[in-house]
Amino acid sequence: MLVTKFETGEGIIILRLGGKLVASTLDNFKATIDTALSGKKSFILLNLKEVKAMDNFVVGLLLSRRKSVEGQKGMFVFCEAPLAMEAILKQAAQEKPPRIYKTEGEAIEAMHSGMKLEVKAR
């Protein structure tokens, strides 16, 4: 598993993932995500373009962290997911399918829009 982390000036944390996301790599992956989520309203973008495989343990972790972030009025979105992974994520979260964008740029733009709506609501 390979994780590259970036943070935009607007507070969006981008995690570009690669390789196999499976139970044997779950502890390191969980620590990476939990560090990104620590202590503030989070805006997380997971780029899945280079992911070769993902098992049910990782899908469960992603969906539970997404629920936590969205419960705190943050955003947790995906982009560039291979079709098979997109289908798995949507099937696993049938009641509230995740937001999955075609490109990282589209995802960032959507997150900026969501941030602006949040500021106006205050």
pLDDT per residue over 21-55, tens digit each?
Answer: 888 888 888 888 888 777 667 899 999 999 999 99
Report whether pLDDT(70) > 60: yes
Domain architecture of the chain: domains with CATH: 2-121 (3.30.750.24)
Average pLDDT on 72-90 reads 92
The CB density around residue 80, as the number of other CB atoms within 10 Å, is: 21
* 57, 64 contact by CB (below 8 A): no
> From start to end of 22-112, where are the E strands?
43-54, 75-79, 100-101
Model pTM score:
0.86
